[in-house]
Structure 1
């Protein structure tokens, strides 16, 4: 096969060039960012169906909260004008469905309820506004803080097919409009979408920058080690072409980069660089003084064809285990990571016959590393008990730390403290209090409706209970509209008339006639479903789940006899994403271990040796999870994928080690001599690839975004642990279980 590949190498090059040209449109499409929810969930997922049902009933649930602040008071004519003008500018934005705030609120005119005027019209005095709102406590709580220094505007965004793609652009325009009407430092933007857009923008910027710097550092180190342009082109070609073709097919099939598939280049460079260095190392061992021509290159490729195929299959199997995930985003990630790994094997051999014959052997780095490794292994053997104790302690600490690991995520915590999103959140929460919407759907039981006095009283009782939670603030729902209407008609004590059917019926009629758009925000007439929005604090996914559970217990106590209550909107979907990701990664990791064990067993033909080979693969994963547990680093979308990457890295080196060891044993060497020869032969590649990759990923620790920092830190740590497992633990295991 290798001889045929060499014979037809120029035809291979021509076909490769044609494929690159044909895939260019796919690459252009594939590198676009798309983090829409449909990319995360499988079609028909109950959580996604429930979310879309909520949006169909009440529109886009993504609300931008704008806080306008004056350190003295907002009750001035100038501030009233600012609020009116800002509200009007926001309402005219094509992607805004509605603006709910003091600048858009209509109130009854003195001549009757049916004649309305703007609360902050040009003729209204600050004193009149304060007197009016004093009689309207429900309305006042939604418009101003108790000290009248902060006003809240709720900007409801329109639903559109490309909303997820344009979120960052839309929010940037809303920020610009706000800054044009309010003095600098006196307005803040908040909301789930604001945090999400800020995190997405910074993650793309930081990940691209520091991954690029890491790649540059890797290849600079590679150049310093080998000082050979052909070898550099060989490794760059493997990684670059595998990445290019993977992204080209990815884009042509209609996929776009997201928070998971942005890791594809990371996977590809790991396997591409490792296989390339194994080939280079093998060629250096075969080459004699003054060796030229393709003979040594072709023989090196023949020698490594079987182990490279085995490493590809084991790693591909590990990533294809993600097909067991209930999430579309993880399935797609697994499939294209497997594709990229398979392409690395193709180009390792395809470019090997094209480029390596032109590269002079460079055994200097390999020979130096080999000599030092043999000396180091002698030191380990002389202190085998100490090495064993240290390894057992590390495993024990890792397992103990893993028991402390928790699945959680706190998106705001990923942003630097000086980021504008964090500053706005802190200022808004300090001036207004909890502001993020937690949505609940209320479905009256048979015999009741949303306007039934019993349902309205129960909803009001639930609101009073919810406000006692530390993590909750103001509560507003369908019942609040009736309370506000009764307060308008009967004064501050009007809310107490929710139990009187006549008064409630009158207000229901007036709301339907005079405020249909506002009523539609909280009541869905066709289904008879009501909406209650609890303003909550920025919480982690675990805290959010606990708060939601508490709210549901309160709802069962107050609303349970007359209605069913369930969570809705984006927040429960977000909690489900975290649960899906962590569960999927855990299950797929276990499945991948089983698949890897089976494939390694098939490759080596010895179950005991395959079982021993699994231990150095497990060790870096145990260390990784242990460090995360001890350091309090949660298992989430940013960290859960690292274990699969580590497994792929370690499996590759283990298979090459086993292959070389078995070859030496078949050649008649005893276990002791076979271990020394194997370490001298394969060890340099393991050490050099670890050094190159460690330096490349350590650069990412300079990033300001916590997700990128953690990825660099944990990946670098895992690479170091994998190296320890390969050059210390595995040889010690072989010595223990394969004696002379």
Structure 2
């Protein structure tokens, strides 16, 4: 009775679809139109990906820092390493560029050579005054500019590491964006439409290349590259998958039908993004391409079944109806397992991954509905397949490969197990060599100019990735006590000794500059005041640049004088050493600032990202286990066999371990992009397992529970489709290797590799395991009448039902 219910359901679906073709196509057109109306809601993210949940202590501390001092990532640096900057013509162009930048409403502060200020003592007012370092009326004099260069590098240690590198002679300007626009579209508009054109004017006038970096600039250019690559991926995926489809089927009509379906699915994916009001991120940007890569295998499986049926009896209408009737549920289950692979990302407690998992799993299920409805309808309007369209079913080259696999399954199962165990051992060795990357820029496009600029600043100024230390003295005006300043100075000396970090900046620097100014600018006095000097020097310093927009230090002490901030910058290549660096700073901080008297927080974007990577690794491993559990539950529910669950998991676990081992041997680190490989690849690879086991279950029934005969028949029936779909998935994910982003390249390459291993594992190891364990797995009492009938039925059963 269950069998006829299941058969009747899919028979009903087939009849409804084929008897209401115009209505079905109209519904699809309406859905497409409604989702197209949601495209207007699509927008690119203007904030950085936060890999940690909001309630994580690292996030809480970082948000506490932002609440005190505002957005830290508002600095853009413009650098140059060319002595010509100290010549009248080039200097004049530099002044023009800086004045253009400074005049923009989106700029909060510019610190540059041309308007550099130095502290000067005003004994009458008992305060320090900021006075111009350069007399602009003398800048046409080349000798004067050379004198300025000498004084800058030798008499203003306050600006060393901030505005110049004394060793190499490079200089830079610091441009502070209005913090209100850093995470808004205005940031993009300013960088692309104001800053970059102004820089190009300077470069054209002087023929000198400027270097530009800083988080707002990097994020903007990075986002532009991602947007450009969306079109590249979609175009490349359409081209390569359609080419493969045509090669397999040699049918222009079938290829165009499949292209039409995946193009509609791409339109739907953009509509779903808009409907859910999700932002385009580095992950959601891949969803349209994924729909092509996953959609074409659906089309291959259904089209291949249509051709198999038509070859048997030559009746097009009957063949199209049986596509749905015989493999409808199996196709649904394979799409469900794929959706599960993506859906498990929701367990990560990470907004970026939750949105990616939601939108991808929804689109996969909608893609199944689109395929199961549209393929029979469109083929019903097309002429019946001719002989050349069916030749792929007996193509010699592929047939020889499949025969070779089948021979090994029949006669060399021991060799298959030896190879599998050997690969497992090698993989485990490689896994122990894996490392975790905490790099913010490792995945960025290395061929782009803005990445080369990052490398320049990494070399000349020790990086652009901010690391922040916030010190709460727990009493108002506690920061300006000399004892506190001395402790901060000790901590800064520890930071300077860490090779991966730049010279730190804090209120200590200003106080030292104040003492130098008090002693008429003598650089030998660039130091903290003594206890005898503190009364008058600190009183001068407190009044220095008070309420001035040009106050460089205004962001380094809060309004109450209770909380201080030390900022340093880190070379991004040091991401993996962040825990060690943090530990060194923490050890010294705990000595200088006892936790019962002070509260010291170490934070910043670099640290938050590294902590997020570790958190993501833990959570995605949990998600992968969750995917295993859901798949096992599905297999157990389908087949009511615990042993069948083991048989289904093992061939899909081995490819994941192989890929992890290769990552270890090739020094491909675990990072947000590569961690995703395992969940995605498992969800796709297990499709072949479900398809094989579904067919095997039916062949057992057809062949009176004769194990070997059923396995060989299953291989002959489903092996070709498994091969076709795996090859398409392999090349489909390979298109991501066209990316400029290292993470996307690694994601595409590793998923392709895992799916290739998965195909071989499912074609060889899976049937070998079934044959070896056949006596227990095929026990009729254990393996009888699954809960959900996902399997095909004999022609006699279907014919009998159709007559009724």
Q: TM-score, normalised by structure 2?
A: 0.85
Aligned residue for 1:639, secondary structure, equals helix
2:347 corresponds to 1:324: yes
Of 502, 514, 522 in structure 2, the residue corresponding to residue 473 of structure 1 is 502
Structure 2 match to 1:334: 357
Aligned residue for 1:474, secondary structure, equals coil
CA shift digits 1:367-424 (9 cap, x unpaired): 3345752453124433333222112212222232223222214344445655322332
CA shift digits 1:648-688 (9 cap, x unpaired): 21111111111111101011151111111111100000111
Of 522, 539, 544 in structure 2, the residue corresponding to residue 506 of structure 1 is 539
For residues 375 and 145 of structure 1, what CA distance do their matches in structure 2 show?
Answer: 66
2:566 corresponds to 1:543: no
2:642 corresponds to 1:607: yes
2:39 corresponds to 1:6: no
Alpha-carbon deviation of 1:537? 1.9
Structure 2 match to 1:410: 439
Contact 1:326 1:580 in 2 (8 A): no
Matches within 5 A, 1:145-160: 145-146=165-166, 149-160=169-180
Aligned residues: 738
Structure 1 match to 2:563: 529
CA shift digits 1:350-373 (9 cap, x unpaired): 113312333534432123345752
Aligned residue for 1:346, secondary structure, equals helix
Alpha-carbon deviation of 1:345? 1.8
Alpha-carbon deviation of 1:42? 5.1
Aligned residue for 1:519, secondary structure, equals helix
Distance 1:53 1:379, change over 3 A: closer
Of 176, 183, 206 in structure 2, the residue corresponding to residue 163 of structure 1 is 183
Of 44, 47, 55 in structure 2, the residue corresponding to residue 33 of structure 1 is 44
Structure 2 match to 1:393: 422
Contact 2:479 2:561 in 1 (8 A): no
2:306 corresponds to 1:306: no
For residues 14 and 231 of structure 1, what CA distance do their matches in structure 2 show?
Answer: 21
For residues 310 and 546 of structure 1, what CA distance do their matches in structure 2 show?
Answer: 47
For residues 36 and 417 of structure 1, what CA distance do their matches in structure 2 show?
Answer: 22
For residues 712 and 337 of structure 1, what CA distance do their matches in structure 2 show?
Answer: 16
Contact 1:119 1:129 in 2 (8 A): no
Structure 2 match to 1:557: 591
For residues 739 and 283 of structure 2, what CA distance do their matches in structure 1 show?
Answer: 18
Structure 1 match to 2:135: 121
2:664 corresponds to 1:629: yes
Matches within 5 A, 1:170-569: 170-172=190-192, 173-181=194-202, 183-206=206-229, 208-288=231-311, 291-357=314-380, 358=382, 360-361=384-385, 362-368=389-395, 369=398, 373-415=402-444, 417-434=446-463, 436-446=465-475, 449-490=478-519, 491=522, 492-493=524-525, 495-497=527-529, 499=531, 500-511=533-544, 513=546, 515=548, 517-526=551-560, 528-560=562-594, 563-569=598-604
Alpha-carbon deviation of 1:171? 3.3
Of 79, 85, 102 in structure 2, the residue corresponding to residue 91 of structure 1 is 102
For residues 195 and 152 of structure 2, what CA distance do their matches in structure 1 show?
Answer: 30
For residues 255 and 763 of structure 2, what CA distance do their matches in structure 1 show?
Answer: 26
Alpha-carbon deviation of 1:48? 4.4
Contact 1:64 1:154 in 2 (8 A): yes
Contact 1:472 1:535 in 2 (8 A): yes
Alpha-carbon deviation of 1:731? 0.9
Alpha-carbon deviation of 1:326? 1.9
Structure 2 match to 1:660: 695
Alpha-carbon deviation of 1:161? 5.6
Distance 1:185 1:710, change over 3 A: farther
For residues 410 and 115 of structure 1, what CA distance do their matches in structure 2 show?
Answer: 41
For residues 670 and 619 of structure 2, what CA distance do their matches in structure 1 show?
Answer: 12
Aligned residue for 2:544, secondary structure, equals helix
Aligned residue for 2:470, secondary structure, equals strand
Distance 1:706 1:221, change over 3 A: same
Aligned residue for 2:113, secondary structure, equals coil
Q: Which moved more, 1:75-84 or 1:499-508?
A: 75-84
Alpha-carbon deviation of 1:258? 0.6
Aligned residue for 1:472, secondary structure, equals coil
Structure 2 match to 1:737: 773
Alpha-carbon deviation of 1:694? 2.2
Contact 2:430 2:661 in 1 (8 A): yes
Structure 1 match to 2:726: 690
Structure 1 match to 2:5: none
Alpha-carbon deviation of 1:446? 4.3
For residues 604 and 193 of structure 1, what CA distance do their matches in structure 2 show?
Answer: 54
* Gap regions ≥5 residues in structure 1: none
For residues 566 and 709 of structure 1, what CA distance do their matches in structure 2 show?
Answer: 36
For residues 301 and 527 of structure 1, what CA distance do their matches in structure 2 show?
Answer: 73
Q: Which moved more, 1:724-733 or 1:137-146?
A: 137-146
Aligned residue for 1:155, secondary structure, equals strand
Distance 1:734 1:329, change over 3 A: same
Distance 1:203 1:550, change over 3 A: farther
Q: TM-score, normalised by structure 1?
A: 0.92
For residues 419 and 594 of structure 2, what CA distance do their matches in structure 1 show?
Answer: 58
For residues 416 and 340 of structure 1, what CA distance do their matches in structure 2 show?
Answer: 29
Q: Which moved more, 1:704-713 or 1:683-692?
A: 704-713
Structure 2 match to 1:713: 749
Alpha-carbon deviation of 1:454? 0.6
CA shift digits 1:566-623 (9 cap, x unpaired): 1233222222332333222211011110111011110122221122011122122112
Structure 1 match to 2:158: 138
